[in-house]
Amino acid sequence: MAEIDTVEAPISVIQKIEVELIDGTVVEINVRDMLAEGYAEEELEDMINSRLDANDDVIKDASFFIDADNVANTVQPITNSILKNL
């Protein structure tokens, strides 16, 4: 898989990851469901990174889908706090 510069996002705001393999197969990793099932964020992040690294030679592309509602819920309280004194 070609290296792409990205800004890291906390795993808690990732909805899913779609991994396209060189044979055309697309594998979906539903991060939101896995977190709901009880995986700890750090454990899940380590597991996903390990799996992606181990299969790097057969991965063509990976797309990360962000949970916009989760991002908004995370950012809004911080924004409110910053703007309350303006």
Q: Would strands 26-29 and 14-21 be described as parallel, antiparallel, or unpaired?
A: antiparallel
φ, ψ of residue 7 in degrees (nearest 5): -90, 130
- Alpha carbon distance, N-terminus to C-terminus of the chain: 46
Give pLDDT tens digits along the chain (86 positions).
Answer: 444 445 577 898 999 999 999 999 999 999 999 999 999 999 999 999 999 999 999 999 999 998 888 878 877 888 888 888 77
How far apart (Å, rounded) are the C-alpha atoms in residues 83 and 54?
45
pTM: 0.75
